[in-house]
């Protein structure tokens, strides 16, 4: 097995527990270098995580001859730029979700990696978690018969930082994120539906900014049709009184319900009664997904999330937000 040396561009909060330590714990993998524009923070991260090299210049990390693959963990507005640079260096890319701010940027990233003949992986890591692979198995086994429709509900109160108009989080600044929390959070659920049912062929939606804490949309509704004929509807509200997170898949002979974020049991209800499977959260939630990338690079299996599948999720979100964006509000 070849040792895969990773480099991280953007060693911020998402890499502290969710992903960064996993690179060191997977057989045949090690975190070789990290980069952050703030040199002192990059150096501190490297010290705390026992990483041999640190940079404050992304180009230097990308062109480090000892770095085999680059994980782009920056906000979405720089995903496309860094992917171009990593592809030009002939190295595989692992990019955070959402893949980019919009579908057009995703297509440009795919083209760059295709031309360089290198793989493009994306961090829709729920595809690699046992709870969601179990759902896929239940659907394949037709435990609820033929799927009729899917209903999605995600709502939560505003975060405290959303009230600070002078220091808004980047996730609600459309120029950086591509939209608001819908882009950041709904993308996980929409990607799971792509994983379960295949590509969507039609999507539409309504969006608005009800509370006006930030420039992005805070409430979204959507309808989606998949190539299989399955229809999904969803509501996402980020200015509600309390948190709710429920996805229900209704079939001809039962239903499956689960949460995307709340780590609740997967529930199956059919003619045999009610069954449940716990959500088992790894210490480093991206580790199973990163393992699949290391396996693929070593010629053993495939990562379930690549640029093609991730771009489809961006396409769906673009269709849902199309009318909102036409109004010049995002």
Condensed to tens digits (0 to 9), the pLDDT of residues 210-248 reads 999 999 999 999 999 999 999 999 999 999 999 999 999
| Cβ atoms 248, 264 nearer than 8 A | no
Look at residues 53, 57, 75, 56 and name the one whose alpha carbon lies nearest to residue 7: 53
Please determine, for residue 128, whether its predicted confidence score (pLDDT) is greater than 80: yes
Assign 328 a pLDDT band (cuts: 50, 70, 90): low
**Architecture (CATH level 2) of domain 127-284+312-326:** 2-Layer Sandwich (3.30)
With CA atoms as reference, report the closest residue to 90 among 57, 128, 63: 63
What's the confidence (pLDDT) of residue 2?
86
Q: Report the C-alpha gap between 207 and 329 in whole angstroms.
A: 10
pLDDT, tens digit (0-9, with 9 covering 90-100), for 157-210: 999 999 999 999 999 999 999 999 999 999 999 999 999 999 999 999 999 999
Q: What ranges do the domains of the chain cover?
A: 4-124+286-302, 127-284+312-326
- What SS3 class is residue 291? helix
DSSP 91-121: --EEEPSSSSSSHHHHHHHHHHHHHHT--EE
Does the pLDDT at position 137 exceed 70? yes
pTM for the model: 0.96
Q: Would you say 68 and 91 are in contact if contact means Cβ atoms under 8 Å apart?
A: yes
pLDDT digits (tens, 9 = 90+) for 3-60: 999 999 999 999 999 999 999 999 999 999 999 999 999 999 999 999 999 999 999 9
Assigned CATH for 4-124+286-302:
3.40.50.720
Phi-psi region of 301 (alpha: psi -120 to 50; beta: other; left: phi over 0): left
**Is 4-124+286-302's fold the same as 127-284+312-326's?**
no
At residue 327, the pLDDT reads: 83
Is residue 330 over pLDDT 80? no
């Amino acid at each position: 097995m070849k040792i895969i040396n990773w480099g991280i561009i953007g060693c911020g909060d998402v890499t502290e527990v969710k992903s960064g330590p996993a690179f060191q714990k997977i057989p045949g993998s090690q975190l070789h270098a990290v980069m952050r524009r703030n040199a002192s923070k990059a150096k501190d991260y490297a010290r705390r995580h026992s990483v041999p090299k640190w940079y404050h210049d992304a180009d230097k990390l990308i062109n480090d001859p000892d770095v085999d693959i680059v994980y782009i963990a920056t906000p979405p507005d720089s995903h496309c730029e860094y992917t171009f640079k990593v592809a030009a260096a002939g190295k595989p890319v692992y990019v955070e979700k959402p893949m980019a701010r919009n579908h057009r940027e995703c297509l440009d990233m795919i083209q760059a990696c295709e031309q360089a003949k290198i793989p493009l992986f994306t961090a829709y890591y729920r595809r690699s978690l046992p709870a969601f692979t179990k759902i896929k198995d239940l659907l394949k086994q037709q435990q609820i018969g033929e799927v009729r429709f899917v209903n999605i509900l995600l709502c939560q109160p505003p975060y405290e930082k959303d009230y600070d108009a002078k220091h808004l989080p980047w996730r609600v600044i459309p120029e950086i994120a591509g939209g608001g929390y819908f882009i950041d959070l709904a993308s996980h659920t929409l990607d799971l539906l792509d994983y379960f049912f295949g590509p969507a062929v039609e999507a539409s939606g309504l969006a608005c900014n009800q509370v006006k804490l930030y420039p992005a949309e805070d409430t979204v509704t959507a309808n989606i049709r998949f190539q299989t004929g399955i229809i999904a509807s969803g509501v996402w509200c980020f200015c509600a009184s309390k948190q709710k997170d429920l996805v229900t898949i209704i079939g001809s002979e039962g239903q499956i319900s689960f949460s995307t974020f709340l780590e609740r049991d997967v529930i199956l209800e059919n003619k045999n009664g009610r069954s449940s499977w716990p959500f088992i959260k790894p210490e480093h939630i991206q580790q199973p997904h990163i393992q699949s990338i290391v396996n693929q690079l070593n010629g053993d299996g495939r990562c379930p999330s690549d640029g093609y599948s991730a771009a489809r999720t961006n396409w769906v979100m673009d269709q849902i937000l199309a009318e909102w964006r036409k109004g010049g509000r995002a």
